[in-house]
Structure 1
Amino acid sequence: MLGSFSGTTVPALLNSTSNQLYLHFYSDISVSAAGFHLEYKTVGLSSCPEPPVPGNGLKIGERYLVNDVVSFQCEPGYALQGHSHISCMPGTVRRWNYPPPLCIAQCGGTAEEMEGVLLSPGFPGNYPSNLDCTWKILLPVGFGAHIQFLNFSSEPNHDFVEIRNGPYDTSNVIGRFSGTDMPGSLLSTSHETTVYFHSDHSQNKPGFKLEYQAYELQECPDPEPFANGVVRGAGYNVGQSISFECLPGYHLIGHPVLTCQHGTNRNWDHPLPRCEVPCGGNVTTQNGTVYSPGFPNQYPNSQDCTWLLTVPVGYGIHLNFTLLQTEPYNDFITIWDGPQQTAPQLGVFTGNSAKKSAQSSSNQVLMKFHSDAANGGIFAIYFYGLSCCPFSTLHQLQQKCRGPIPPREKQPFQGNF
């Protein structure tokens, strides 16, 4: 407030220090008077002192009068220390509301832009001693960093820069540089790249200036079509994983989960798996299908495969040949009513026909397939468990079984067919 005046004394000359002036007059209900008459004219105000341009930075704004605002920006690689905007304040002494900021090269940080600059602390001056600085370049998945050094000078052997292909201390080092030779350009093959700088207690040098730019990484090879199975996963970029599952009756050969690797040649960390029908195995599902080896292709020659089917105690097993095409007599399937070949035989099946069936009096069935050295074939046997009353003969079993075992919700696939 410039002043408050009352009575008959004429106030002294007043000078405002702003481009705006607020005047308020108040009178009560009693004595009236002549009031006041004042004149004003515009006068130039003194300006705030010109703020200095920060080293390695820019000043935006050329007016320094009251309420004028000046802003500051740093060159790429430098961080603003202080306020990015300052304002010229009113008052008898003209000054800025904050001191001008500085632009400094920091020890470490995080860079998430698609391109940028990293600097050693103090650049272009010498870096301090005893530094351990880490910068993280974090790009969207599917992008790597192309790194190019513009300046480089460090104490040979003792002070160095490491570029790591990943976010961890243990990530693969793709470049380690020391001395005065300018490093060549580098390509990281991860969307996360680490830049690490170390200086010891002795000689100090100007350090480094590097720039990076994101580039799109290739995907790992498409694993589909995946025969007799399904592939689950969101994508095939570096660091992403996919999983493989086989259709019922098939067995996964290989690793069930693959991860797209880093590297200039994009590939999965293991060979692609495959789904095959195994030659025999233990089957513990309550229903399913046993396929011939190699299904839906013809089975190989000279095969001897054994399957043991097991359902809960108190149940029998019904088997139905939905497909049977074998070399008559030379290639055949033998089924026993029990877990061993000493159990009663339910039949020997061969030739070219289907809709043949068998039914056990036990909760276990042993099946053996034999093929000779000539001609192939194919077969598929559907089976399910039967809930049965007590019985003493196969005929009684067939008369008293009450039908298939009721399916359970979301039965997991178990066993090898």
Structure 2
Amino acid sequence: MGFRWILLSFLGCACAASPSMFGDITSPNYPQGYPNNARESWKIQVPEGYGIRLYFIHLDIEPSDDCEYDSLKVIIGNEEQESVCGQSFSTGQPIKERYYPTTELSLLFTSDFSNQERYTGFSAYYMAVDVDECEEQQKPCSHFCNNYIGGYFCSCPPEYDLQQDQRSCGVNCSGGLYTELRGQISSPGYPSAYPENSLCDYKVILEVGYQIILTFQPEDFDIEESDDGRCAYDRLTVKTKDKQFGPYCGKKPPSRIETGSNEVDIEFETDSSGNNKGWKIRYLEAAKSCPTNVVENAILHPKQEKYVFKDMVTVQCEEGYEILEEQTKLPSFQAKCQADGSWSNNGLKCLPVDCGDPQKIQFGAVNFESTIYKAEARYSCKTDYYTLSGDETYRCSLNGSWLNSKGHIEPPKCEPVCGKTTLLSTSRIMGGADALDGYFPWMVFFPVDTLGLGGGSLISDQWVLTAAHVVQDNPEPRMRVGNVKLQHAKDLEGKRVILHPDWVVMDNDQRKNFDNDIALVQLKYKVEMGPCICPVCLPGEGEGFSPVVDKRGYIAGWGKKSDTQKKLRVPLLQYAPIFVRETAECKASEKTDQAFTENMFCAGGFGKDSCGGDSGGPLMFENQSDDTKTFYTGGIVSWGLGCGKFGMYTKVQNYLDWIKETIQKVELEEAGQESKPQNFC
């Protein structure tokens, strides 16, 4: 009995509030018989890192099958571990012990309604016993386990770090940065087995304009994979800003990876098991490529199958296209392959050469379907009273101009058709024949001159040919044209009068020499040609246009029909055929002191002649070389020997050079001063 009390005083009390290293427990009324219907429990708690060893010094509990009557139950958590009953007697040593690998358990003593045998119960003590966690079936540490009294700690091999859970070892493999254009990256410890429980992150950053290419060799790839082929355990993943490649695992490496980016993250994640050797990646740069054409319809110099970052090219356009920069044409421009795979071109393009609308022409039209390179424009005149002078077809050229077959830019002109007539029969002026509209649509009437009246003929849409003596005193004459009836004719305004330089200006009543009796009158406005008005032709330079004897011509005018007629003019245009006569015959027919020159010829007689008021009008001949009936003016009414007799006419053929040169000089001076034409039809 004394030993027991000594031992209990050493062990202390089991009901301490904080975990204790030891304690004792006895059943109710021990060592006397325990009471009936007893129920008492005890909670045993030891510090962390320890287990509980329970010793029975005395055990005297009514025995029964499965301790059905009375028992001491050991409870851990909510589960009953065992029930203790039966008898054993002390020999001075603990007679029964139990070990429980827990820091906390409960003891529950119960008895039934009968303890007739006076069973005394039990006496026990417990002790905290160090647990060797490193020997447990479940390894607490991934690498090295170190036990100490009351606990354990984990440690790692060199180059490994203890993770946050204080049990796993991993490698600090994040933060690796690679900026060289080419290099190699491998898993930790490669080709030895890579560490478990690790998350590695490697970053490759190259200059903007390059993409990173990753390649693998078959012998350099061994990553643990799950039985179903998924990368559920360990995985290698490649990421860019907008793409992900992988994850990859197993023994078959991925094929070449063209990342399309200059920045790549390589992530490697492992779990807590496995013994694979890992991987090695070779990376290299590839300059980003640009399209093989900078812009559509362009030609690049130098020509290459592939263009990459920093390549420079000279851009020219294909035939039919041009480069425009703010409406300025450029022969070429430089372009550079940029970091993003596009060309620098400042918005320049090869645009189709566009000639714009072709120039319009007066009295004509131009038809075209397109205005771009090689397009055709066809010119035509509005009516049959004009003929096209120049090429009909113009093409849009490379320089953006409409050019004809000779490479000239000037558009054609619609020149009036000369000499057109509707004359079907002939008659005579004196006594006679009224002209119809269209017979002589070039006839011009001068209402006032020094002799009273005068005539002339249109030789173009802006020029009138007449006799110098008709207009010598009238620098801006008014005229009438466009109808055989003077009252219906339209007024024309003269802009200038040009007398032949060899014409001698004097009073016509005193004149004895009508040599060089020829003048040009420029109209203030052009007149539009039509059936009512068109010019008479000028004679050609050949002998066929000379006024040879017996050649038939026509005279027309609004002058008197006879010397006895009081009125200076007739209201309706008169005409008649006459023949060219020998000058000597005419000279001999009447006595006169007028001069006869080589610039004159004689025509008429037999009652058919021009008369007063017809001066300046034309003597017209039919053009025998033309398939259609046209007239040219071979002479100009100058002076006569009396109405109905012979008349003298200025020989127009002698003045062709002067007429053409004079008109050309004036029109060159006035180029670009076109005015709206007058229309009389």
TM-score normalised by structure 2 residue count: 0.21
**Which protein is bigger by CA-based radius of gyration?**
2
Q: Name whichever structure is richer in helix by fraction.
A: 2
TM-score normalised by structure 1 residue count: 0.32
